[in-house]
Amino acid sequence: MSGPSRIGDLELSQDLDFHRREIRGEKIGWAVMLLVVLAALLGLFGSGPLSTGEARTPDGRLEAEYNRFARYMAPAELRLTFRPEAVREGQVQVWLSRDYLQHMVIQKVIPEPDSVQLDGPRLIYTFNVRQGTQSGDLVFELETEAIGRLNGSLGLMEPTGAAQGAGFSTFIYP
Amino acid sequence: MDAVLRSAAIYLFLLLIFRVAGKRTLTQITTFDFVLLLIISEVTQQAMIGDDFSITQAVLAIVTLVGLDISLSLWKQRSPRVERLIDSVPVLILENGQPIKERMEQLRIDESDILNAARELQGLERLDQIKYAILERSGNISVIPRPNAGG
């Protein structure tokens, strides 16, 4: 860019090319802002209709509702629903992958688990259930502690070991 | 570390958003603009320091913001292109009493804005008393009267 140029009696460093580009840039920026707002309303930045995902173990005895999108240091929730067939001897045993929970702070588990066991890459939660319980919800209230994509898996425990689980993943915005 | 990164991210984001909003956004602060400004500052404050209310965190955030401002001004001095990109360019919007409609529309300025500036700055009454009106980088309108504007 040269110095100020003369326009009539006026010394002015006017650059109409740049001005036009700037106006176009502004318009594009407005469009982007609109898209961001729409995406936020749909839940692509966490909290919204598209922000909750569902996973299910292959045998269908355990379903999970998880956050597809969450935000750093914000609350997240993992809601497990077990079918009556999942109850054995008055107990439901659920395993969760540790690499998921490592980057989450567990604020609360509802109901309180009867015991938590460490099993290599898994954590095993045991809940006492009254006989004849139809099905129930187990809610893990979490707070995110990392940024980026987090992969996790969960499933039921069998007497023979961990049953095949379901995978899920959460993307955490900074 | 995160105070520095957060402040830098907020600084750059605000720079971008106010560039996109256009030059005139916060120049003539109406009551509502003022409220908007207060809300924005409140929201950014939380994003910058999070839930760490230590003096250290505040100092780091302020040093980062002012530091970025200084380095940006140094960079602008070195490179006219960067200056243009960050501060925009002045645009002539009225010549010899004739408003340049197309540019005014692009910049979201109407004749009453020019008249307002002419009254405030020069005590002029009509458009034909104005020789040049320029929308400056700052978003203010500067007005140059015709030599015989008094008549």
Of B20, B51, B92, the CB nearest to A29: B20
A1 pLDDT exceeds 80? no
Q: What is the pTM of this model?
A: 0.78
**What percent of chain A clears pLDDT 90, i.e. is strictly above it?**
41
Name the band, by pLDDT with cuts 50, 70 and 90, for residue A3: low
The least confident of A8-12, A49-53, B24-28, B135-139 is B24-28
- Residue A140 β-bridge partners: A78, A109
Q: Which two structure tokens, joined as six digits, stand for A30? A: 């407005």
Mutate to test the interface with A, among B6, B12, B16, B20 (most CBs of A within 10 A): B20
| Cβ-Cβ contacts under 8 Å, B51 against chain A | 73
Between CA B12 and CA B9 the distance in angstroms is: 5
Binary contact (A12, B81; C-beta < 8 A):
no
**pLDDT > 70 in chain A, percent:** 98
Q: Please identify which residue in the block is written with the tokens 């990109």.
A: B85
Q: Which of A8, A9, A13 sits opposite B90 (nearest CB)?
A: A13
Which residues are paired to A142 by β-bridges?
Answer: A76, A106
B89/A18 Cβ within 8 A: yes
What is the distance in angstroms between the Cα of B31 and the nearest Cα belonging to chain A? Answer: 23
Chain B: closest CA distance from residue A115 (Å): 33
Per-residue model confidence (pLDDT) at position A83: 87
pLDDT digits over A129-174, tens only?
A: 887 777 889 999 999 988 999 999 999 888 787 778 889 999 999 8
- The whole-angstrom distance between B88's CA and the closest CA on chain A is 8
Contacts of B122 (CB under 8 A, 6+ apart): B143, B145, B149
Structure confidence at residue B76 (pLDDT): 94
Q: Which residues of chain B neighbour A23 with C-beta distances below 8 Å?
A: 106-107
Mean pLDDT by 10 residues, chain B (151 residues): 90 92 80 90 88 90 95 94 91 92 92 92 91 92 82 49
Which chain A residue shows the shortest CA-CA distance from B17?
A29
Does residue A149 come out as left (phi exceeding 0), alpha (psi in the -120 to 50 range) or beta? Answer: beta
Q: Of the given ranges (A24-28, A41-45, B20-24, B103-107), which has the lowest mean pLDDT? A: B20-24
Decide if A18 touches B, using CB distance below 8 A: yes
Q: pLDDT tens, A66-88?
A: 999 999 888 999 999 998 888 88
Q: Return the closest-CA partner of residue B145 out of B130, B133, B135.
A: B130
Q: Mutate which of B92, B98, B103, B136 to disrupt the A interface (most A C-beta within 10 Å)?
A: B92
Q: What part of A 54-73 touches B (C-beta under 8 Å)? A: 73
B84 touches chain A (CB under 8 A): yes
- Integer Rg of chain B from CA: 20
Nearest to A19 among B21, B91, B95 (CB): B91
Q: Residues A39-50: what's their mean pLDDT?
A: 88
Q: How high is the pLDDT of residue A125?
A: 92
DSSP H or E run through B58: helix B55-78
CA distance A27 to chain B (A): 8
